Every structure is written in structure tokens, then in C-alpha cells.
Amino acid sequence: MDMYLKPTEYFDYQNKYIQEFAANIKGTSLTEKAVSIYYLVRDSVKYNPYTLKDGVASLKASYCLESHQAYCIPKSALMIALCRYHGIPARLGLADVINHLSSPKLIEWLKTDYFAMHGYVEVYLEGKWVKATPVFDQELCTKFGVKPLDFNGKSDSILQANTTDGKKHMEYVKQHGTFEDMPVALILQTVQEVYPHLLHEFTTMFNPASNHREETAEWNPNQD
């Protein structure tokens, strides 16, 4: 399990903001701490899919606390970083989904209702891997009529197929598996294939602290 406890460039729990944020975690057992982490990440960082434009830097766990908003992958990265910091093995899961509640504005921006590389978390608790999805904050769920997704540390917590009134919500289409670290090359390849119009923005580095963008070297999709 050592590989699922280490800090990485993207699960960067050595970051001072993450360590300060970790002081808010409650509980004595690992399960209690994992549940506390889940709710902190879910509701303390506002879900905003448009932060995808902030590029590769937005994949980091610390990005969430520097920007106070993020999409599914960095929010999952933050939960992973906090879990690892507290000695809880954690890894990233990725899946393709269709969000039937997507706004017309978001669909127009993405040019599709197909959400590639939806991020979630797997944590190892009480002898098994359990899925957790600390993505949609309570305020957003209320707006769209979806019950906020809960997590008890014992059973899988994945996005609901339907809203409280029976409308279609989230449809899982493809599983990409789980990852010890952020699979940046795979994510970039997917952006090129599914959102080619966003590739330039995504491969432009963004520093949320300085609100400054810097051009990266041209990305080669055949390069790891």
C-alpha cells in the first residue's frame, strides 16, 4: 500500500495550504477521518467545470485550495492528498459519463454532453477499496434538484442515475480504471480526442496565485 500513501506532484499534501486545511479533519479512526475528508472536500470547494481552462496546473490537489473552486479531477485529487496525509491509502479513478442535467451553456462550451475523464476516489478502509465522489457541493445539488451524495466509508458512493423526482442524472459509460498518480498523458490525449478545441487552453499553464498564464512546450500526443 506504500504507493497509495506517498505525496506526488499532483497529490501534493506537502503543500502548506493542504496541511493547514487538514487541521479541519475530525475523527479518530481512519474511516471517520475519510468520511470527514469527503464532506470537507465536497462542500468547501465549489464545483466549477469551467476551471478546466486553467490547464494542467488545475489537476493538482493544491489548486482547489488556491482557487476555492475546481472540477471533479482536482477535487478528487484533494481528497486523495488529504487521505494519504492521514495515512489512508487512496487512488484516483476515472470514468466517462453523460450528465443529463448539463446546462446548455456547458454543452455549448464543451461541444458535447459526453464528460470524458470524470474523476472519483477509491480509499482503502477496513480491508477493502471503497469508491467516493466528493464532486458536487451541496449548494449545486440543491440548485439542480439532486440529493447531495453521501459517503459512510463502508459502501461505494457514486453519482446517482436519477434526480429525486426521477429525471435522468448521471450515466456511467466507460471505466478507465484506477491510478496511483495523476495520468497526465492519458488526460491530455483524451482532451485532444474529445475536446480538441480546448487543447490549447488546457496545455497552457496557469498559476492561480498570480493569475498568470505561461505557454508550455508544444505537447506531443505520442509522448508519455
End-to-end CA distance of the chain: 25
| Cα distance between residue 187 and residue 200, in whole Å | 14
What three-state secondary structure class fits 176? strand
Q: For the chain, 224 residues long, give each residue's pLDDT as a single digit of tens.
A: 999 999 999 999 999 999 999 999 999 999 999 999 999 999 999 999 888 888 888 999 999 999 999 999 999 999 999 999 999 999 999 998 887 566 788 778 888 888 888 899 999 999 999 999 999 899 888 887 778 899 999 999 876 655 565 666 677 788 899 999 999 999 989 989 988 888 877 776 444 444 433 333 232 333 33
pTM of the entire predicted model: 0.86
DSSP string, 63-128: HHHHHSEE-HHHHHHHHHHHHHHTT--EEEEEEEEEETT--HHHHHHHTSSEEEEEEEEEEEETTE
